[in-house]
Every structure is written in C-alpha cells, then in structure tokens.
C-alpha cells in the first residue's frame, strides 16, 4: 500500500510526535492512549489521498455524449428516440477532481447548431458519487448579481458497460397518449 504524505501532515506529525513522546514518557502505563493517537494520525494522513483516489478512479470520469433516449412503457416495450445531430454534440464532462462541465446545443430556427445555455454565468459545477448508481451534480450560477445553487440528482446512472451509461429519470411524461414508466438518456464515452 502506498502512502503520500502531504506537507501539512508531516508538520502536524512532527509537532504531534514530540508531544506524544513526552506524554508517553509520563504515562508509560497508558499504552492504549499512545497507540490510539498514532492510529488517528495515520488515518488522518491517508484520508485525503483516499478521497481523491475514489473520485479520479470512478467509472464516470470522462467525457460523454448523448446517443439515444429510451422510453420504458407500461406494457414492457422499449421505444428508442434518436436525438438530432446538434443534440448529439452535447457533452457531459465528469472530471477526476470532482469538477463538472457540460455543453448543450440545439438547432435554431434556421437549422444551425447553436449553444443553448450561457455558461459564462456558471461559477462552479461539481459532481459527487453518493452511493452505487447514485450521483449528484451541483452548480452555482450568478444571476442578476446573486448566486443560485442548483442540485441535480438523477434517479440512477447505470453503467451498461465501461463506455455506455444510462441516466434514469422518473418523471411524468407521455408518448402517444400513454404514460411512460421510466426514461433513460443513454450516453457514450468519447474520452
């Protein structure tokens, strides 16, 4: 197992080590306290590295583009709806450091592919894994000189394979007059 010690942990360990040795000399009878303190310092020094490793190694890290929208109907049938070519150029970028970026395009009235959202107002966007198949995306946007936070939590993000995900939404929508049971937006990894 490899440990990367950060400067602040080394400094903390230096000062704490001196304190611990002094305490140990005074309290030779209480070895349990000594060992517990060492264990706590060891856990602290590795905790930040572990969190970074989990984020950067998550399967969702990468750039994804939409491929198809799938409707699951009450009778068990699946209906696939293709996106237009502009929408297929959209991207979701889950970065290894927890940052998130997206680009969104659609056709304007002249048939040109144009970016549909004003990203210049986005101050910060982060993603985090809550548990298996459950992620949260949080954005902070500046609107009229006020910061607004938006949280998006899809019902599930399911990995079909390493290069295909389905983002599940459970919202009321209809297809040809029939209520859709579940909607999946399927994305393909491009990087």
Rounded distance between C-alpha atoms, residue 176 and residue 100, angstroms: 35
CB–CB of 62/189 below 8 Å? Answer: yes
For residue 38, pLDDT over 60 is answered with no
What is the per-residue pLDDT across 60-95, written as a single tens digit (0 to 9) for each?
999 999 999 999 999 999 999 999 889 999 999 999
Rounded distance between C-alpha atoms, residue 103 and residue 116, angstroms: 8
What is the pLDDT averaged over residues 5-23? 39
- Give the bridge partners for 131, in sequence order: 134
The CA–CA distances, whole Å, from 168 to 26, 101, 161 equal 60, 19, 15
What is the per-residue pLDDT across 124-171, written as a single tens digit (0 to 9) for each?
999 999 999 999 999 998 888 888 999 999 999 999 999 999 999 877
Backbone CA torsion sign across 13, 15, 18, 22:
negative
Write out the H or E segment, with its range, that includes residue 81: strand 78-82
In this structure, which topology does domain 62-189 adopt according to CATH?
Lipocalin (2.40.128)
CB–CB of 134/93 below 8 Å? Answer: no
Across all residues in the chain, what is the average pLDDT? 77
For residue 51, pLDDT over 60 is answered with no
| Domain ranges across the chain | 7-57, 62-189
The larger pLDDT score, comparing residue 68 to residue 57, is at 68
Say what the pLDDT of residue 120 is: 54
Say what the pLDDT of residue 164 is: 97
């Amino acid at each position: 197992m490899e440990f990367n010690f950060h400067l602040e942990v080394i400094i903390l360990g230096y000062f704490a080590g001196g304190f611990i040795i002094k305490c140990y000399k005074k309290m030779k009878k209480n070895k349990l306290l000594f060992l517990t303190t060492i264990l706590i310092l060891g856990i602290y020094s590795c905790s930040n590295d572990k969190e970074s490793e989990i984020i950067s190694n998550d399967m969702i890290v990468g750039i994804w583009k939409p491929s198809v929208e799938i409707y699951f109907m009450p009778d068990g049938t699946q209906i696939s709806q293709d996106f237009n070519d502009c929408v297929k150029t959209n991207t979701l970028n889950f970065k290894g450091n927890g940052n998130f970026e997206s680009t969104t395009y659609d056709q304007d009235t002249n048939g040109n592919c144009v970016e549909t959202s004003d990203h210049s107002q986005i101050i910060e966007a982060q993603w985090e894994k809550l548990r298996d198949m459950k992620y949260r995306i949080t954005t902070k946007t500046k609107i009229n000189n006020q910061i607004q936070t938006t949280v998006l939590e899809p019902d599930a993000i399911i990995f079909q394979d390493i290069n295909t995900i389905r983002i599940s939404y459970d919202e009321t929508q209809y297809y040809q007059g029939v209520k859709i049971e579940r909607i999946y937006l399927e994305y393909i990894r491009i990087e």
